[in-house]
Amino acid sequence: MTAPLLGVIADDFTGATDAANMLARVGLSAAVLIGVPALDAELVSHADALVVALKSRTVPVAGAVTDSLAALAWLRTQGCGQFYFKYCSTFDSTPHGNIGPVADALLDALGETFTVVCPALPVNGRTVYGGHLFVGGQLLSDSPMRDHPLTPMTDANLLRVLAQQTSRRVGLADAAGVERGEEALRGQLARLRAEGVGYAVVDATNDAHLRTLARAASHLKLLTGGSGLAGALGEDYRMGGQLAPVSGTAPRHVISRALILSGSCSAATRAQVAQFAAQHPAFTIDPLALSRDPAGTLAQIVDWLKQDWGGQSLLVSSSAPSDQVKEVQRLLGTERAASLIEELLSDLAVASGDLDFNTLVVAGGETSGAVVGALGVQALEVGPEIDPGVPWTLALPERRLALALKSGNFGTPDFFEKALRVWA
Ligand SMILES: Nc1ncnc2c1ncn2[C@@H]1O[C@H](COP(=O)(O)OP(=O)(O)OP(=O)(O)O)[C@@H](O)[C@H]1O
Ligand SMILES: O=C(O)[C@@H](O)C(=O)CO
């Protein structure tokens, strides 16, 4: 058994499967561990990369730091050679954190003082230029992320955003340096480090820039970023001939019944929900009715799932446009609204197992964290890609339940149909 090359700490579950997908794309075997494992590492002992999925993006800072350090400690015991902190390609965070405090704690624990920061994911339209984050060509602060229910992003300047979250100095490795190639960028990073910078935000507007960065930063013990840089790092391992030969068979799955659970209000998910609901049975959650009678709402939806739908795939969703979300948050409080909906969708996921559903698509990072936690899944094997950043996964060790955890803004409008076609 060889030690894994890379240990990834992901701050949410969809981000974890996104990173695992990008690593698998370039030929690494990657396993996703749900939470810090209390599990027999034998189960994942073949993997080139271990990805620990945390739900640390929006929890209080202290909890995020504790969980991330526990994940790092576990990955170190597995012998990982290098570490990666995966956060969202839209840098989802608040002025308190959690990206800065978690990165600070990981650097301290590793005895390091410097790392790179690059959320760019060009395949999904997220690019960094002049230290500013763009989403589909729009500044982050002009994109739908400005209305995110939990982490509204109203500033696209990553240096400013990160500086609010850390006492370490934040600097920029700009596009000109990246364009000049690996050696020039390595020199630029070294200069920033010598000037006392702890975090170098690095510009990247395409995959070649990410590959340059992965090579220029390959000596760092810890790198941080989105799944794009993680994939580029994987590519670097492959080019360096460091991967173990591929073993085992491709994951397979036969759908008995499929259920889609959406708690994501992101623009992409809302379009996907609308398209699927136009052709399939769909139940829309009313958060205010839910707050008045959580048990009654659960019972009502379980009865709905039990109806004879002739084998069709079903959708249950709370997805709503931002004005409705804001009104619900005003009436219920943001956290109460979120936890009521997350609990309901989790309870439905658990109940679905007794109703012969063996295939779940979950939309939304927070929602996925809640659902997978409630299901008690320990680890996921990464299967075929549905859309960039969203793979099918099979729950280990039985591989009977297939799960797709979709980040809010990922996937084409026909994502749900496309996902189910993969196993047809
Ligand atoms: N109608 C609604 N009103 C208020 N809050 C809602 C509503 N629907 C969902 N929510 C809450 O909004 C949050 C959405 O976050 P989630 O991470 O699941 O989706 P996302 O932000 O679109 O995905 P990602 O983090 O992957 O980009 C959840 O906590 C969810 O419970
Ligand atoms: O990086 C992304 O955009 C996603 O993996 C994610 O983290 C969304 O929750």
CATH of the domain at 228: 3.40.50.10840
154 CA to middle of ligand 1, Å? 17
Alpha helices in 307-392 (DSSP H): 322-332, 334-352, 365-375
Assess whether 189 and 93 both reside in one domain: yes
**Mean pLDDT along residues 3-9:** 94
Assess whether 138 and 230 both reside in one domain: yes
Assess whether 187 and 297 both reside in one domain: no
Amino acid at 334: T
Assess whether 222 and 265 both reside in one domain: no
CA torsion angle for 398, 402, 408, 412 (degrees, to 10)?
150
Q: What is the mean pLDDT of the chain?
A: 94
Final residue belonging to a domain, choices 239, 272, 293: 239
Give 111's pLDDT tier (boundaries 50, 70, 90): very high
pLDDT of residue 243: 76
In this structure, the residue with its CA closest to atom 14 of ligand 1 is: 264
* Residue to mutate, 93, 366, 368, 405, ligand 1, most ligand atoms under 8 Å from C-beta: 366
Assess whether 92 and 166 both reside in one domain: yes
Total domains present in the chain: 2
Q: What is the spatial distance between Cα 308 and Cα 66, in angstroms, rounded to a whole number? A: 46
231 CA to middle of ligand 1, Å? 26
Question: Comparing C-alpha atoms, which of 112, 115, 139, 113 is closest to residue 126?
Answer: 139
pLDDT of residue 40: 59
In a domain, 346, yes or no: yes
In a domain, 353, yes or no: yes
- DSSP letter for 357, please: -
Assess whether 215 and 281 both reside in one domain: no
Assess whether 187 and 280 both reside in one domain: no
Domain that holds residue 351: 258-422
In a domain, 253, yes or no: no
pLDDT digits (tens, 9 = 90+) for 176-214: 999 999 999 999 999 999 999 999 999 999 999 999 999
Which ipTM was obtained for this model?
A: 0.97
pLDDT of residue 37: 84
Percent of the chain with pLDDT over 70: 97
241 pLDDT higher than 90: no
In a domain, 248, yes or no: no
317 CA to middle of ligand 2, Å? 20
In a domain, 138, yes or no: yes
Assess whether 102 and 195 both reside in one domain: yes
CATH number for position 319: 3.40.980.20
pTM: 0.93
Neighbour-count burial of 292, counting CB atoms closer than 10 A to its CB (0-12 exposed, 13-18 middle, 19+ buried)? exposed
**Mean pLDDT along residues 362-367:** 94
Assess whether 63 and 172 both reside in one domain: yes
1 pLDDT higher than 70: no
In a domain, 247, yes or no: no
Question: Comparing C-alpha atoms, which of 300, 298, 260, 264 is closest to residue 277?
Answer: 260
